Amino acid sequence: MSRIEACFEKLRSDDRCALIPFVTAGDSDPTITVPLMHEMVAAGANIIELGVPFSDPMADGPVIQRASERALAYHVSLTDVMGMVAEFRQSDNDTPVILMGYLNPIEVMGYAKFAQAAQVAGVDGVLTVDLPPEEGAELMSLLSDAEIDPIFLIAPTTEDARIETLCTHGRGFVYYVSLKGVTGAASLDVEAVSEKVDQIRTHTSLPVGVGFGIKDGESAARVAAVADAVVVGSVIVNLVEACAGSMDKTLDQVAALLRDIRTAIDAV
Amino acid sequence: MSNSTDSPAGAPEFAGPDDAGHFGPYGGRFVAETLMAALDELRAAYEKYLKDPEFLAELDADLAHYVGRPSPVYHAKRWSRELGGAQIYLKREDLNHTGAHKVNNCIGQALLAQRMGKTRIIAETGAGQHGVATATVAARMGLECIVYMGSTDIERQKLNVYRMRLLGAQVVAVESGSKTLKDALNEAMRDWVTNIDNTFYIIGTVAGPHPYPAMVRDFQTVIGREARAQMLDMTGRLPDALVACVGGGSNAIGLFHPFLNDTDVAIYGVEAAGDGLETGHHAAPLCAGQPGVLHGNRTYLMEDKDGQIIETHSVSAGLDYPGVGPEHAWLKDTGRANYVAIDDQEALSAFHSLTQIEGIIPALESSHALAYADKLARTLTPEQSILVNLSGRGDKDIHTVAELDGLKI
């Protein structure tokens, strides 16, 4: 059983919703990432989503683009990111880690080399934002050989036939993007999210995670009422930006935010 | 591989793309799921209306009466004589309304937008030519228009920025990344994802996710179709070589495509070598880059060893792009077209030559094609001919050239 599967199974038996924080690897500097991952787990994170910096993050908003720029100022590469995962694994062998990023750094490394290195590092899932299943057969097959789950996004505009395709190719969980727009965008219509999550569940028994637009305990709790996981990204990255330069401050503030969100979603 | 476009028999390898938008290993649709539905909607509309006689009649009428097509082919006799080699013919896209080939595509896409019921047009622009063409067409059709432009480009292309504002477009400065064309494209994509219900994204070149590379090509092939007939009419035969500059590659594919099966016609795409290929400061992904994935398609890119996209350098803002249309990538690999590079100095020298010898001020982009034609002509005989796509006029570049010549206007 994969770490992601085991994680959701445990949460299901405890009747809890997963909390998945997102941070960009190497933001605000490369030394912060591994301590921050541990701190987030201690504050209640169940799965860590680690952004791989890319120069042209087309599907992300300005907050996460700036995070990529901060990491790239230190030339944080895909190899470096896997190094961080390997370091994290030295003292945490349970918490699943998902890499989220864009295809080009993986193309340049080579699919086979990437899949193997990710497996050795202890990566559990890969969400390649700009690789739809139609283009991804080769990478998906190599990831599958390496026992890594490919994770796919589903959008508000995704119709039934494509939801079926995405759920067939996805493993671990499916990630519903809860609003039209880029990461860090404004409003969240929980009723619409609830309807779409129900629609997704008619296609799959995979857990459904929901992200985009979740900024505090209150919005997380409303999403947790309908989803199996809440993904929190831009609001954390904003904190990392505000605390740039201070490791202690970064860890404290991100942990405090996650504890609030944890408490709120556990009360649902 | 099935064909989505008509192509003369005999060379099916050039009949791309396939149903999923691939030209060999290039092209495709590498985008976030948030864009998929919009691309499907666009593709359905494009496939429907490109076969619709009423749509095509309206497009042709606009190209004739608003753009001023057909654009002439001009025999540059004095310049040819001076070079002492092949006869050089110029396809005068610089004489189009708005001063470049860009408008051919903008008219087509705006008519599509209208048929799809979209009321808001967005576009990215580098030098501002595509932005101006889009703003022009949007003004004429009464559509809201937002143009994304890198803040660096806004600074160096003030005239075009004002032109777009005069036309009623909102020009949005993009401050992310390198603050140039690629970042404007990222930002336009973000706008599109957010406002997908009422917004049509007019991409200005033959890059981006399927169906853009095929669709923009189909709107630009009017260049090559006209030029092929005009050359036959004027000289009784096809030219020995075609030359066009390649940034994203829309003017080049527009000229090349109708000649792909004329295998006796040599094809040259000219990239910007900037300070020189050996310096690394250039915009020549086909000559000195490697394949990768950016902006929704697989193609040749300028990237570092980690797969990060790197900044490009060219005196010509319109060629300053780290990728290139996927069909060019395929034409390179199949050997049907040759890709070469011309540096800033060579392009400037051709700019001055054409201006002084023929009384035609070419765009700095097109000057790259002219500079290569200059080299090529010298290796051919006066009985042979070269057709160059003069893709735009140089009025927009006067300030840049004056500055490089040490003058203040």
A99, A118 Cβ separation under 8 angstroms: yes
Cα(A98)–Cα(A48) distance, integer angstroms: 6
Residue A204 per-residue DSSP state = -
| Residue B176 distance to chain A (closest CA, Å) | 8
| Residue B345 distance to chain A (closest CA, Å) | 30
Cα(A266)–Cα(A210) distance, integer angstroms: 16
How buried is A190 (Cβ within 10 angstroms: 0-12 exposed, 13-18 middle, 19+ buried)?
A: middle
Tell me which chain A residue has its CA closest to the CA of residue B289: A108
Is residue B7 predicted with pLDDT exceeding 80? no
Q: Is A156 inside a domain boundary?
A: no
pLDDT tens per residue across span B170-229:
999 999 888 888 889 989 998 998 898 999 999 999 999 999 999 999 999 999 999 999
State the DSSP H helix or E strand holding residue B144, giving kind and residue range, or none if neither: strand B144-150
Q: Is A58 inside a domain boundary?
A: yes
Could you give the ipTM of this predicted complex? 0.95
Residue B94 per-residue DSSP state = G
pLDDT per residue of chain A (268 residues) written in tens, 0 to 9: 899 999 999 999 999 999 999 999 999 999 999 999 999 999 999 999 999 999 999 988 889 999 999 999 999 999 999 999 999 999 999 999 999 999 999 999 999 999 999 999 999 999 999 999 999 999 999 999 999 999 999 999 999 999 999 999 999 999 999 877 766 656 678 888 999 999 999 999 999 999 988 989 999 999 999 999 999 999 999 999 999 999 999 999 999 999 999 999 999 8
Q: Structure tokens of B403?
A: 């500055």
Catalytic residues of A: 49, 60
Query: Could you tell me the CATH number of the domain that includes residue A144?
Result: 3.20.20.70
Q: Structure tokens of B342?
A: 């011309």
Is residue B236 predicted with pLDDT exceeding 90? yes
Q: In the prediction, which pLDDT does B3 show?
A: 38
Instruction: Identify the residue among A81, A107, A162 best suited for mutation to test binding to B, counting B beta carbons within 10 A and taking the highest.
Output: A107
Interchain pair A180, B301: CB under 8 A: no
CA quadruple B343, B348, B351, B352: dihedral sign: negative
Is residue A107 helix, strand or coil?
helix
Is residue B10 predicted with pLDDT exceeding 70? no
HSE-CB for A165 with a 13 A CA cutoff = 15
Asked if A185 reaches chain B (Cβ–Cβ under 8 Å), the answer is yes
Q: Is A64 inside a domain boundary?
A: yes
Give the phi and the psi of residue B198 in degrees, each rounded to 5. -115, 5
Pick from A104, A166, A180: which is nearest to B307 by CB? Answer: A104
Q: Is A204 inside a domain boundary?
A: no
Tell me which chain A residue has its CA closest to the CA of residue B179: A56
Give the phi and the psi of residue B30 in degrees, each rounded to 5. -105, 80
B153-B154-B156 Cα angle (round to 5): 60
| Residue B339 distance to chain A (closest CA, Å) | 23
B238, B59 Cβ separation under 8 angstroms: no
Asked if A134 reaches chain B (Cβ–Cβ under 8 Å), the answer is yes
pLDDT tens per residue across span B79-109:
999 999 999 999 999 999 999 999 999 999 9
Pick from B28, B196, B291: which is nearest to A157 by CB? Answer: B196
Q: Structure tokens of B114?
A: 């209208």
Give chain A's domain count.
1
**Mean pLDDT of the region B271-286:** 97
Chain B, 280 to 299: residues with Cβ < 8 Å from chain A are: 290-296, 298
Size of interface A-B (CB pairs under 8 A): 126
Q: What amino acid is encoded at A221 in this protein?
A: A
More confident residue, B374 or A215: B374
Alpha helix ranges (H) inside chain A: 3-14, 33-42, 62-72, 78-89, 103-109, 111-121, 137-145, 160-169, 190-201, 217-224, 234-242, 247-266
Is residue A5 helix, strand or coil?
helix
Q: Is A196 inside a domain boundary?
A: no
The residues, ordered by sequence, that sit 6+ positions from A227 with a Cβ below 8 Å of its Cβ are: A17, A176, A193, A197, A208, A209, A210
Q: Structure tokens of B245?
A: 């500059």
With beta carbons under 8 A apart, name residues in chain B contacting A58: 31-32, 186, 189-190, 295-296
Cα(A268)–Cα(A224) distance, integer angstroms: 7
With beta carbons under 8 A apart, name residues in chain A contacting B292: 104, 107-108
The residues, ordered by sequence, that sit 6+ positions from A126 with a Cβ below 8 Å of its Cβ are: A98, A99, A100, A118, A143, A148, A149, A150, A151
| Residue A62 distance to chain B (closest CA, Å) | 8
Give the DSSP letter string of B385-409.
Answer: EEEEEE-BBSGGGHHHHHHHTT---
Tell me which chain B residue has its CA closest to the CA of residue A57: B186
Is residue B202 helix, strand or coil?
strand
The residues, ordered by sequence, that sit 6+ positions from B303 with a Cβ below 8 Å of its Cβ are: A104, A108, B289, B290, B292, B309, B310, B322
Interchain pair A155, B33: CB under 8 A: yes
Pick from A72, A135, A155: which is nearest to B28 by CB? Answer: A135
Q: Structure tokens of A197?
A: 């999550």
Catalytic residues of B: 102, 124, 391
Q: Structure tokens of B126?
A: 């580098």
**Mean pLDDT of the region B287-296:** 97
Q: What is the mean pLDDT of chain B?
A: 94
* Proportion of chain B above pLDDT 90, given as a percent: 87
With beta carbons under 8 A apart, name residues in chain B contacting A130: 30-32, 293, 296
HSE-CB for A236 with a 13 A CA cutoff = 36
B66, B219 Cβ separation under 8 angstroms: no
Pick from A59, A109, A159: which is nearest to B32 by CB? Answer: A59
The residue written with tokens 């500059």 in the block is: B245
Pick from B194, B290, B308: which is nearest to A55 by CB? Answer: B308
Is residue B303 predicted with pLDDT exceeding 70? yes
Give the DSSP letter string of B160-201.
Answer: HHHHHHHTTPEEEEE-STTSSHHHHHHHHHHHHHHTTTTEEE
Q: Is A41 inside a domain boundary?
A: yes
Residue B303 per-residue DSSP state = B
B279, B387 Cβ separation under 8 angstroms: no
Q: How confident is the model at residue B137 (pLDDT cuts 50, 70, 90)?
A: very high
Q: In the prediction, which pLDDT does B1 show?
A: 34
| Residue B125 distance to chain A (closest CA, Å) | 16
Q: In the prediction, which pLDDT does B5 show?
A: 41
Residue among B353, B363, B183, B354 nearest B270 (CA): B363
Q: How many CB atoms are closer than 10 A to CB A114?
A: 25
B/e letters for A127-154, b = 16+ CB within 10 Å, e = fewer, are bbbbbbbebbeebbebbeebebbbbbbb
Q: Structure tokens of A140?
A: 């998906």
Interchain pair A105, B307: CB under 8 A: yes
A184, A227 Cβ separation under 8 angstroms: no
Residue A131 per-residue DSSP state = -
* Domain assignment of residue A107, given as a range: 3-151+215-266
Q: Is A160 inside a domain boundary?
A: no
**Mean pLDDT of the region B135-164:** 94
Q: In the prediction, which pLDDT does B4 show?
A: 39
